[in-house]
């Protein structure tokens, strides 16, 4: 009888213990849950892309996208969609250009437009204060643009004219679109054509 009572008491004490209590501790390292590599919680492998981006030199030319359009081409099998990008590129020191690019992806189209703008860049003839010397006007397709110097009034311009003049580095100027055309690409090219006339 005594032995059976002792066994019952031992069973009660063992069942009352919480889970994990009484388990012998081992010196084996805890697994961090990252597989065989065993990374700790706060350390991660270095990202190679971020280091490459830091090493790449920054371009001296700034860019401004003036229009992104999705264009469609009808072929025998159906329709093919692509993106057309028009942008302005300049260094704000008298060099500026307008380019367009078309591709199936926007990033590729932007790269093509950047290359096109660099090929078509012009050097604007400015004085030491980055101002134009006289009035100029130009017509490109349906767009008509007039640019006049306005000393100590800052830049007064709108639409894509302002983007071209800013990236060219022109200061103290007033520009106006004299036509009813709202095509930003044509307005930008008319502005380039007008800036080429400066002496």
pLDDT in tens, 64-88: 999 999 999 999 989 999 999 999 9
Of the candidates 40, 88, 39, the residue with the CA atom closest to the CA atom of residue 67: 88
Per the CB < 8 A criterion, the answer to whether 170 and 131 are in contact is: yes
β pairing state of 173-177 and 143-149: antiparallel
Assign domain 62-195 to its CATH architecture: 2-Layer Sandwich (3.30)
| Cα 130 → chain centroid | 28
pLDDT in tens, 12-66: 555 555 555 555 555 555 555 555 555 555 555 556 555 555 555 677 889 999 9
**pTM of the complete model beyond 0.75:** no
Mean pLDDT score, 128-134 = 88
Dist CA 60 CA 57 (whole Å):
9
Mean pLDDT score, 96-110 = 94
Tokens of 28: 């084996």
For the packed helices 184-195 and 159-168, what is the interaxial angle rounded to 10 degrees? 40
The predicted structure's pLDDT at residue 129: 86
Dist CA 85 CA 108 (whole Å):
10
Q: Tell whether the torsion through CA atoms of 95, 100, 101 and 107 is positive or negative.
A: positive
Per the CB < 8 A criterion, the answer to whether 151 and 131 are in contact is: yes
């Amino acid at each position: 009888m005594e032995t059976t009572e002792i066994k019952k008491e031992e069973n009660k004490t063992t069942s009352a213990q919480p889970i994990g209590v009484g388990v012998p501790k081992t010196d084996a390292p805890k697994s961090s849950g990252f597989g065989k590599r065993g990374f700790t919680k706060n350390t991660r492998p270095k990202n190679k892309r971020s280091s490459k981006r830091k090493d790449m030199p920054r371009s001296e030319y700034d860019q401004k996208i003036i229009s992104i359009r999705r264009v469609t081409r009808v072929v025998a099998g159906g329709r093919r969609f692509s993106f057309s990008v028009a942008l302005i590129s300049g260094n704000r020191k008298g060099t500026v250009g307008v380019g367009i690019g078309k591709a199936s992806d926007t990033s590729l189209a932007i790269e093509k437009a950047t290359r096109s703008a660099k090929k078509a860049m012009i050097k604007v003839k400015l004085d030491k204060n980055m101002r134009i010397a006289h009035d100029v006007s130009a017509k490109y397709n349906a767009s008509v643009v007039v640019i006049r110097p306005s000393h100590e009034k800052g830049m007064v311009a709108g639409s894509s004219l302002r983007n071209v003049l800013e990236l060219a580095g022109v200061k103290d100027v007033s520009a106006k679109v004299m036509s009813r055309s709202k095509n930003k690409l044509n307005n930008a090219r008319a502005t380039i054509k007008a800036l080429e006339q400066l002496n």
